[in-house]
Structure 1
């Protein structure tokens, strides 16, 4: 299965380097990912009082403050704080839509368009539990070691993820496959770890954030 992750990199004022990596979201089709990128791109332009002008002067061909879109990428050029407008602007935000290949194991998946009329799907603040939707999960925090390996910490957190598939054993017992993203590494070299895992609805997966937080704070047996 191919999905699309929208990545955003922005400049850190103190270092003037593009190093703040953020995954805006993951979408099942490219057009939805593009709209997600476009929406955030326009917000950044509006915040900086800039225009979508290809960041190039028509008269001279030089780079000027503004934004540019090209296929699955976009970027915004502007002056650094305190920089003279006589100098060249720099890239302060960039975007890219990256394909994500997910190896989905064969299972009895629950497709929202083929649901048994007698099967009542759970609903909550995020909508209906179904592929293509979203869900809150309680999972282990991830971290990365000096060798670049991601490992599980002995600490739980609540995450919001994308539902890849739903398997049901009984009408009230649902197993949910979820794609999640966690930031790992220190703030100066942060990476985003994308993974999938299975969760049981009502125990570690929820459609209401309050229920997930309640499970997280519940005392261990």
Structure 2
């Protein structure tokens, strides 16, 4: 299973989600690879802060990375790809390599509009690889604000499913990343950790059960 986190806008939580979903899968006993496809190298920097990690991290920020990513993924049960902002060719390669593309969007029209290009790329890739699944993930949500609720309506106009799981903007995420730890190591008994667990399980279930198809997906997500 190869899961990528992509959005052309930076700062929407791609690396935080990538690292912590990888950490969640590793806690379940899976052999996990995290591919850092962002030239900024945030995931690689996170890994450098510790002597060892619960999963393997490799840097692969180049436009033709899909073939190598697929080859590496054969040695792992799960592969997570931390995608780049403002890099169309690399993002396209990430999509081609993926089973599931998660598009993190924060409660702001900016991240939703920036995802339009990624949505188009996914739909183009699905024409020759129909098995690719895709869904929005509400990220960095601030409590029960009005804009936090409206983001679902804005994202729904793109015609893609929106995951039920939501990741709120929490200090624990920033602290854990800064200290080179997953949220489970930093604050295992926290709402932040539970949000990541819920998101991970939802993505796994959707990929395995193929619920992101046709009217069934629309009915499940409005």
- TM-score over 0.5 for the alignment? no
- TM-score after normalising by structure 1: 0.28
Q: Higher Cα Rg: structure 1 or 2? A: 1
Q: Which fold has the larger relative contact order, with Cα–Cα distance below 8 Å and residues 6 or more apart in sequence?
A: 2
| Structure ranking higher in helix proportion | 2
Output the TM-score relative to the length of structure 2: 0.28
